[in-house]
Amino acid sequence: MYPRWLWQGFALPGVVWLILLFIIPFYAVTAVAFGQVNPTLLTPEPVWNPLHWNVGWMSEALGRLRPGGDLWVVVVRTCEYVVVSVGMCIAIGYPVAYYIARHATRTKSLLLILLILPLWISYLMRMLAWVNLLAPDGYVNRFLMWSHVISTPYGWLDGRPITVIFALIYGYIPFFILPLYASLDRIDKSFLEAARDLGASPVRTFLHVTLPLSKTGILGGCVLVALPMFGDYYTPNIVSGAPTTSMVGNQIDLYFHYTSQPTIGAALTLIMSVFLVVLMAYYMVTVARATKEQQA
Amino acid sequence: MTTTTPAPPPTATPAPRPSAGRRIRSWLANPWGRPRFLVLITWSYMIWAIVPVLIAVQYSFNDSRSRTIWAGFSTRWYISDPSSVINDPTLSSALQQSLKLAAADVIIATPIGVLLALGLARWRGRGSGTSNFIMLFPLVTPEIVMGVSLLLVFTNLFTFIHTGTFAQILGHVTFSISYVVVIVRGRLFSIGRQYEEAAADLGASPPVALVKVLLPLLTPAIVAGAAICFAISIDDFVISYWLSSGGNTTTVPMAIYAATRAAPLPSTNAIATILSLITLASVILGYVGYRVFTRGERQAGQGMVGDMAAFDI
């Protein structure tokens, strides 16, 4: 009933906006990473034509990220932090999502609101809350000293990896639980009854019915928290600030804002994006396969 | 499920204090019983997630300069102290900048996002698949990548745009559009086409069907989309940080970030509290708007919570 050009016309402003301010900017990162640096001003000179790309800066960045390079330790550290944090998100988040989806009855709405609430409290505010609690005379140290676990205040904020990992978990776990909750909530309860009626033990029912059916939810949650964690730099800066807890994002921030070497920064951003696109592609392939299996 | 709860199956050995292993087995064993272990974890998680923030709010009302030792209730960090939110020029200008960016974001991103959602949902043909794909990318791109790329494009290609307020607005709109699209598109799919077709059968011309039938049906999603734009723009730290030109373009999250790295005063807690209240108010307003405009529809209200819960993937 509507002319076809109408819908295309409706989509036009948004598509143009995203091309101009999302696609082209990303190409600008590529052009800077494969570009030259002005020898006197030390400003980046992007090369827009792929035929004239200069791979020098890119190979320098890759060399430094490789085992043996000076940034290798940062790469390993970033992966360690992300893997441990995501693992802890699963360990804490799965029981919570499982309980709300399966067992909560009267308290379900309240729990859902509490679950969504942290998403709408500023991330920086939640980090600030822990900076206050973990201060030398903060509640955490006071509690630990009162219970005689420690005798002098522990410097939680003095560049401790455990604090950074803790902050990452605290910051991102709501984003993990929500998609997982959605996928657990969708599971048809008759599957579980069928498994139990057919004599499967509870553990077997969980391992062979619930867990596989929530696999896409777990993966979705992992992707949703792991991608931003890889690019995070503000969390380690807020709760530690020490170079010993610096992540890849901190290096990018450093090259742009402190040492003015945007070319290396752009190369690092590009490498990180390629890595994340691979992760994303793996997730999408897995989800597509799982959807096909469930339909079959 | 809520009304008929079958009696828990009899346990083989009703020991008074079952071991941890058996308790874990028993909550797995009974999918409809009361799993105390899970209750404990869930409520501990909720307390862990919420209480630290409440303590931070409490200390914004502290009567001393400490953020860790309570010295009585006072509103000095909001209104009276020289470095309170009102009197400290850095904090008050940050609040203004945050509100300015969020308002501009809502005004620009909502219409673009609504039109894009309509276009993508109804446009079948060449280019629609690609556009759909492009639309999803800002949702999963780490903010630092968007920040770096916008900074580089403004300093190297679109050099007529300088870093500062205008660049920050462009950045906020870029990541907000997709959120509006996802919410509006979900609503479009759930209302289907039958109302417009009925209107056309009854003689409405396409523009009339669009404005008098589709637009009112979309209003709840538009309100929700605008509220979420406002909330994510207010909360954004990374894009504002990468596109700021210092000084007047500092937003509240940037001010909190700078303060936590220096020596924060309770006024930092105060401005963080104000920020969170504004965000919560906008989300609640959006939710109430959604409920009001979907009055009388079955399962209204679940729609937006569902959209909000699912819109990130």
Three-state secondary structure string covering chain A: CCCHHHHHHHHHHHHHHHHHHHHHHHHHHHHHHCCEECCCCCCEECCCCHHHCCCHHHHHHHHHHCCCCCCHHHHHHHHHHHHHHHHHHHHHHHHHHHHHHHHCCCCHHHHHHHHHHHHHCCHHHHHHHHHHHHCCCCHHHHHHHHCCCCCCCCCCCCCCHHHHHHHHHHHHHHHHHHHHHHHHHHCCHHHHHHHHHCCCCHHHHHHHHHHHHCHHHHHHHHHHHHHHHHCCCHHHHHHCCCHHHCCHHHHHHHHHHCCCCHHHHHHHHHHHHHHHHHHHHHHHHHHHHHHHHHHC
> Which amino acid, one-letter code, is at A258?
Y
Average pLDDT score over residue span B30-37: 64
CA distance A9 to A44: 38
**How close B80 comes to chain A (CA, Å)?**
22
Q: Is the pLDDT of residue B101 over 90?
A: yes
The residue with greater pLDDT, A54 or B127, is: A54
Q: Do B257 and A220 touch (CB under 8 A)?
A: no
Chain A residue whose CA is closest to B161: A21
The residue with greater pLDDT, A134 or B304, is: A134
Which is nearest to A210 in space by CA: B8, B27, B307, B308? B27
Indicate the SS3 state at residue B62: strand
Which is nearest to A92 in space by CA: A186, A182, A173? A173
Indicate the SS3 state at residue B294: coil
CA distance B48 to A111: 13
Residue B34 sits at φ, ψ, to 5 deg, of: -95, 105
pLDDT band, very low/low/confident/very high, at A1 (cuts 50, 70, 90):
low
Taking the complete model, does pTM exceed 0.90, yes or no?
no
Class for domain B110-310, per CATH? Answer: mainly alpha
Of A121, A272, A280, the CB nearest to B140: A280
Q: Is the pLDDT of residue B268 over 50?
A: yes
The whole-number pLDDT of residue B1 equals: 41
Q: Do A139 and B55 touch (CB under 8 A)?
A: yes
Cβ atoms of B144 and B241 within 8 Å: the answer is no
The domain ranges of chain B are 110-310
Which residues in chain B are contacts of A1 at CB distance < 8 A?
196-197, 200, 206, 209
**How close A223 comes to chain B (CA, Å)?**
9
A1 touches chain B (CB under 8 A): yes
In sequence order, the 6+-apart residues with CB closer than 8 A to the CB of A274 are none
A157 touches chain B (CB under 8 A): no
The whole-number pLDDT of residue A257 equals: 87
Q: Is the pLDDT of residue B88 over 60?
A: yes
User: What is the complex's ipTM, to 2 decimals?
Assistant: 0.88
| Nearest-10 crossing angle of helices A161-186, A108-116 | 140
> pLDDT (tens digit, 9 = 90+) per residue, A228-281?
999 999 999 999 888 888 999 999 999 998 887 888 899 999 999 999 989 888
The whole-number pLDDT of residue B23 equals: 66
Q: Which residues 15-54 of chain A have a CB within 8 Å of chain B?
A: 15, 17-19, 21-26, 28-29, 31-32, 44, 46
CA distance A207 to B99: 49
Average pLDDT score over residue span B137-154: 90
Q: Is the pLDDT of residue B22 over 80?
A: no
Which of the residue ranges B3-7, B146-150, B201-205, B294-298 would you say has the lowest mean pLDDT? B3-7
Average pLDDT score over residue span A217-235: 90
Which is nearest to B276 in space by CA: A129, A89, A174, A168? A129
Average pLDDT score over residue span B111-140: 81
Architecture of domain A24-295: Orthogonal Bundle (1.10)
CA distance A172 to B112: 29
The residue with greater pLDDT, B304 or A289, is: A289
Which residues in chain A are contacts of B197 at CB distance < 8 A?
1
The whole-number pLDDT of residue B312 equals: 37
H/E segment holding residue B45: helix B36-59
Which residues in chain A are contacts of B253 at CB distance < 8 A?
122-124
**How close A146 comes to chain B (CA, Å)?**
15
Q: What percent of chain A has pLDDT over 70?
A: 99
Residue A37 sits at φ, ψ, to 5 deg, of: -120, 130
> pLDDT (tens digit, 9 = 90+) per residue, A69-92?
888 999 999 999 999 999 999 999
Candidate ranges A6-15, A93-102, A151-160, B182-191; pick with highest mean pLDDT: A93-102
The whole-number pLDDT of residue B295 equals: 75
Q: Do B260 and A92 touch (CB under 8 A)?
A: no
pLDDT band, very low/low/confident/very high, at B2 (cuts 50, 70, 90):
very low
Cβ atoms of A164 and A239 within 8 Å: the answer is yes
The whole-number pLDDT of residue B33 equals: 56
Which residues in chain B are contacts of A2 at CB distance < 8 A?
122, 206, 210
Average pLDDT score over residue span A36-49: 82
pLDDT band, very low/low/confident/very high, at B254 (cuts 50, 70, 90):
very high
The residue with greater pLDDT, A41 or A150, is: A150
Average pLDDT score over residue span A80-106: 91
Which residues in chain A are contacts of B38 at CB distance < 8 A?
95, 98-99, 103
Output the average pLDDT for chain B.
82
Q: Is the pLDDT of residue B260 over 90?
A: no
The whole-angstrom distance between residue A70's C-alpha and the CA centroid of its chain comes to 24
Of A22, A125, A133, the CB nearest to B256: A125
The residue with greater pLDDT, B86 or B129, is: B86
Which residues in chain A are contacts of B52 at CB distance < 8 A?
126, 129-130, 133
Indicate the SS3 state at residue B311: coil
The whole-number pLDDT of residue A149 equals: 86
Q: Do A238 and B261 touch (CB under 8 A)?
A: yes
The domain ranges of chain A are 24-295
H/E segment holding residue B268: helix B266-293
Q: Is the pLDDT of residue B224 over 50?
A: yes
In sequence order, the 6+-apart residues with CB closer than 8 A to the CB of A41 are none
Of B128, B131, B257, the CB nearest to A238: B257
Residue B73 sits at φ, ψ, to 5 deg, of: -85, 140
The whole-number pLDDT of residue B55 equals: 92
Q: Do A128 and B138 touch (CB under 8 A)?
A: no
pLDDT band, very low/low/confident/very high, at B226 (cuts 50, 70, 90):
very high
Average pLDDT score over residue span B49-67: 89
Chain B residue whose CA is closest to A28: B153
Q: Do A122 and B272 touch (CB under 8 A)?
A: yes
Which of B108, B126, B144 to mutate: most A Cβ within 10 Å?
A: B144
Cβ atoms of A108 and A96 within 8 Å: the answer is no
For tokens 């909000």, what's the residue? B308
The whole-number pLDDT of residue B311 equals: 40
H/E segment holding residue B278: helix B266-293
pLDDT band, very low/low/confident/very high, at B313 (cuts 50, 70, 90):
very low
In sequence order, the 6+-apart residues with CB closer than 8 A to the CB of A220 are A179, A180, A183, A283, A287, B313
Which of the residue ranges A130-134, B16-20, B117-121, B288-292 would you say has the lowest mean pLDDT? B16-20
CA distance A219 to A44: 39
Q: Is the pLDDT of residue B240 over 50?
A: yes
The whole-angstrom distance between residue A287's C-alpha and the CA centroid of its chain comes to 18
**How close A293 comes to chain B (CA, Å)?**
20
Which residues in chain A are contacts of B273 at CB distance < 8 A?
125
Of A18, A182, A192, the CB nearest to B31: A192
pLDDT band, very low/low/confident/very high, at B18 (cuts 50, 70, 90):
low
